[in-house]
């Protein structure tokens, strides 16, 4: 698939049958492109890179080397799931890198959101490049580029200004030159999900809500500390668990917890208890350019509040953010 333009004749992939035909075609194309050479892939665990990984495992098996970089800003159990699904169940050639200390040390004391994004993006490339240099005989780099990415680059090239620098993975250093393998670059997100299902990936992975590249880094507001990041991760896991249980997970486009760097006075076990607030955000959107607020039933909010304040060390209040986009962006940073 060499063209970056989706032909008008290309049918929208809406069924498992159409997805299977697409997969068969891509398996042939990838095999023809890479022959017996090795292919490297940065596997974040997001929908796009996961679908590319599953597709390439089908096409070239162990010739694919997946590198999962845990930047320490993943949600609870996320890296563990990548290892379980790809390393164990799909028996992929998977390199797992725990780079938590590298990232958190660099981020210590940095409070400006765009500086945080830049540090995370740059370090991600460095960690990935370090791993790539250790490998021999790799000639190809697979990427989970999808059609909206291509359309967005065209817009960027036309000089339209972005509100936030979303692109986390820039180019690799000069000494690492690979030919690109981009099997899903002409697909829209809904089509990628159908292809993922046809490849047998778990529903929760294929329908995973969007998660920003800088991860919890832009939800642990201001300068990140390990204790506040830990509290955020636990509170976020509780929110996700409760949304799963009441069916909201299927209905809401993106939902998460934000923990700002402020403390308020509370009381616990009859003593003063200073803690951070956990802010809940739950939005619906079609294109992330505008977003509306989901109406969460009061009983669900009540349960989440009870659980977070009882179970998460360091959090003593729960707030619900009612601000649509605009005027608030979806993320707080």
Q: Name the site residues for ligand XMP (rule: CB under 6 A).
A: 117, 163-164, 166, 168, 210, 212-214, 218, 254, 288, 325, 329-331
Pairing mode, strands 64-70 and 38-42? parallel
CB closer to ligand XMP, 211 vs 276: 211
Q: How far is the CB of 33 from ligand XMP (least distance, A)?
A: 27
CB closer to ligand XMP, 303 vs 325: 325
Beta-strand ranges (E) seen in the chain are 38-42, 64-70, 93-98, 138-142, 179-181, 254-258, 264-268, 271-284, 292-293, 315-320
Q: Which residue reads 């989440």 in tokens? A: 304
Q: How far is the CB of 287 from ligand XMP (least distance, A)?
A: 9
- The answer to whether residues 172 and 45 touch, using CB atoms and an 8 Å cutoff, is no
Burial class (CB in 10 A: 0-12, 13-18, 19+), 29: middle
Torsional sign, CA 114, 117, 122, 125: negative
Distance CA 303, CA 298 (A): 9
Q: How far is the CB of 213 from ligand XMP (least distance, A)?
A: 4
CB closer to ligand XMP, 6 vs 167: 167
CB closer to ligand XMP, 228 vs 281: 281
Q: How far is the CB of 331 from ligand XMP (least distance, A)?
A: 3
Residues shown for the chain: 333
Find all residues with CB under 8 Å of 26, minimum gap 6, and list them. 1, 55, 59, 183, 184
CB closer to ligand XMP, 185 vs 281: 281
CB closer to ligand XMP, 164 vs 263: 164
Distance CA 107, CA 230 (A): 15
Both structure tokens of 109: 């004391």
Q: How far is the CB of 284 from ligand XMP (least distance, A)?
A: 11
Q: How far is the CB of 258 from ligand XMP (least distance, A)?
A: 11
- Kindly state the greatest CA–CA separation across the chain: 70
Q: How far is the CB of 152 from ligand XMP (least distance, A)?
A: 11
Q: How far is the CB of 198 from ligand XMP (least distance, A)?
A: 25
Which H or E run includes 123?
Answer: helix 113-134
Q: How far is the CB of 290 from ligand XMP (least distance, A)?
A: 9
Both structure tokens of 326: 């605009």
Q: Which residue reads 């990838």 in tokens? A: 30
Distance CA 49, CA 58 (A): 14
Phi, psi of 304 (to 5 degrees): -60, -45
């Amino acid at each position: 698939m060499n063209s970056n333009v989706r032909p008008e004749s290309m049918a929208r992939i809406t069924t498992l049958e159409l997805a299977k035909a697409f997969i068969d075609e891509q398996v042939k194309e990838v095999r023809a492109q890479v022959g017996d050479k090795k292919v490297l892939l940065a596997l974040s665990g997001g929908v796009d890179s996961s679908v590319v990984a599953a597709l390439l495992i089908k096409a070239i098996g162990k010739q694919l080397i997946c590198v999962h970089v845990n930047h320490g800003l993943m949600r609870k159990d996320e890296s563990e799931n990548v290892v379980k699904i790809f390393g164990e169940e799909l028996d992929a050639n998977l390199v797992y890198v725990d780079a938590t200390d590298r990232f958190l040390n660099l981020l210590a004391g940095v409070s400006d959101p765009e500086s945080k994004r830049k540090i995370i993006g740059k370090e991600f490339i460095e960690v990935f490049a370090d791993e790539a240099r250790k490998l021999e005989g790799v000639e190809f780099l697979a990427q989970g580029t999808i059609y909206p990415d291509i359309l967005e680059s065209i817009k960027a090239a036309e000089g339209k200004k972005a509100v936030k620098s979303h692109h986390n993975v820039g180019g690799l250093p000069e000494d690492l030159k690979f030919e690109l393998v981009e099997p899903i670059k002409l697909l829209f997100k809904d089509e990628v999900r159908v292809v993922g299902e046809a490849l047998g990936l778990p529903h929760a992975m294929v329908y995973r809500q969007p998660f920003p590249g800088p991860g919890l880094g832009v939800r642990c507001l201001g300068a990140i500390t390990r204790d506040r990041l830990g509290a955020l991760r636990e509170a976020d896991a509780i929110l996700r668990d409760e949304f799963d249980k009441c069916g909201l997970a299927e209905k809401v486009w993106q939902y998460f917890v934000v923990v700002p760097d402020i403390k308020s006075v509370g009381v616990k076990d009859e003593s003063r208890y200073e803690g951070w607030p956990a802010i809940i955000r739950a939005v619906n959107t079609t294109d992330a350019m505008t977003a509306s607020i989901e109406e969460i039933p009061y009983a669900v909010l009540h349960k989440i509040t009870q659980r977070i304040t009882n179970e998460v060390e360091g959090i003593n209040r729960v707030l619900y953010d009612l601000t649509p986009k605009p005027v608030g962006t979806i993320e707080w940073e």
